[in-house]
Amino acid sequence: MESTTKTAKEIYLEVQANPARKRFGFGEKAILVNVDPQKAYTRTDLFATAYETDPRQLEYINDLATRFRALGWPVVWTHVAYMDSGEDAGIWGTRTDTPDSLQNIKFDSERSEFDDRLEIDAVRDVVYLKKMPSAFFETQLQSLCVWHRVDTVIVTGGSTSGCIRATAVDSLSRGYRTIVPEQCVADKHESYHYANLTDLSLKYADVLDVQEVFGWLDSQA
């Protein structure tokens, strides 16, 4: 195993500046999957579980969604919420039991609500309730991708080391070109964030500047 004194951020910036592998690239049609941009994870002023990496993250996500709708391409929002018993969190909900614990994001709670800054189209967009890290796990996301004949999945939200990583790995495993706009994902600590961006970039996805993603979408108009 190689050892280093560099920070996760330093390693990430080196990898991005000197990519060792070619990109998967954009395909012909994409789906936008916004993973769990709910108050439990976005409202740092309200909840200890929330985090912010790029302060313009939600603005960028809204801009992506606007471009997708203009193209007639699908926009998906996921969130997590659980029964009072927490049993639908399964083994994932057994490691802690505090007010901040995952399984204590209850239905109809403020923690389960999407951030008010998001511009969700209640008529055109798709909303999925998920229980586990990946947006693909036991949701209808795969069927939606097939219906829309997409070959590219663009993933935003949080956390980078958790549900973003899980969704990106599942996306690649299903044969999709997977794009992670760097400014559109966030995590609790920069070490987890950049370490997972590095790993995603090397193995599972193209980690790109959001402006490049905007440019590709604009070129499809």
Question: Hey, where are the domains in the chain?
Answer: 8-219
CB atoms within 10 A of CB 128: 17
Rounded distance, CA 9 to CA 27, Å?
A: 29
Pairing of strands 30-35, 185-186: unpaired
Rounded distance, CA 128 to CA 136, Å?
A: 10
What b/e sequence results for 7-20 when a residue is b if at least 16 CB atoms lie within 10 Å of its CB, and e otherwise? ebeeebeebeeeee
- Assigned fold of 8-219: Rossmann fold (3.40.50)
Q: Taken in order 36, 40, 46, 50, is the CA torsion positive or negative?
A: negative
**Cβ contact 186:156 at 8 Å:** no
pLDDT tens, residue order, the chain (221 aa)? 989 999 999 999 999 999 988 999 999 999 999 999 999 999 999 999 999 999 999 999 999 999 999 999 999 999 999 999 999 999 999 999 999 999 999 999 999 999 999 999 999 999 999 999 999 999 999 999 999 999 999 999 999 999 999 999 999 999 999 999 999 999 999 999 999 999 999 999 999 999 999 999 999 98
**Cβ contact 68:189 at 8 Å:** no
Q: Taken in order 187, 166, 71, 27, is the CA torsion positive or negative?
A: positive
The residue among 87, 67, 56, 217 whose CA lies nearest residue 152 is 217
Catalytic residues: 163
